[in-house]
Amino acid sequence: MRCYRNLSVTSPIKPLVFLNDPLAHGAFVRSEDLSIPNVGLHALFPGSQANFAYLQMENRLCELFSLARTQAVPSPRRQQTVAELRAEFCRLNDEKAQQWARHRAPAGTVNTGSGDGHRSIRNCPCLFVFAWLKNWFQFARLAALSITLHHIVLKS
């Protein structure tokens, strides 16, 4: 599962669409609240296709975290799963922060690929294949976490 951590949910081709204007609302403030997805100043527009994979991932992480918290008997495996869910949420939040910063960048700024791992190639067909694969791997990672959590709940 750890081998997929370097794959992003967001796309360099289709940036996230925020409900609030990043230019008018200042720097990104990270949240570690896993109780309710897509709320607050940095909420994403739910109807945007560019936000679909991100919102699906965020919703599933919140569902799994809620399920893990409701478990009565703590165990090392449950604690590890909760820690992995928190780490994944933080990584996802980092992607949102990068997208927020891109929206705040002055007009005409070019993405050189430094710092965020994305190339600035725009019309390469391989990027579309990569985007599809990256989303599939993200959902596979969540499925693995979900199965682990399901086994923990069944054993309790």
- CB distance 149 to 64 below 8 Å: yes
DSSP string, 11-62: -SSS---BSS-TTTS-S-------SSSS-STTPBPTT-GGGHHHHHHHHHHH
| pLDDT tens-place string over residues 9-67 | 888 788 999 999 999 998 999 887 888 899 989 999 999 999 999 999 999 999 988 88
SS3 133: helix
Rounded percentage of the chain residues whose pLDDT exceeds 90: 30
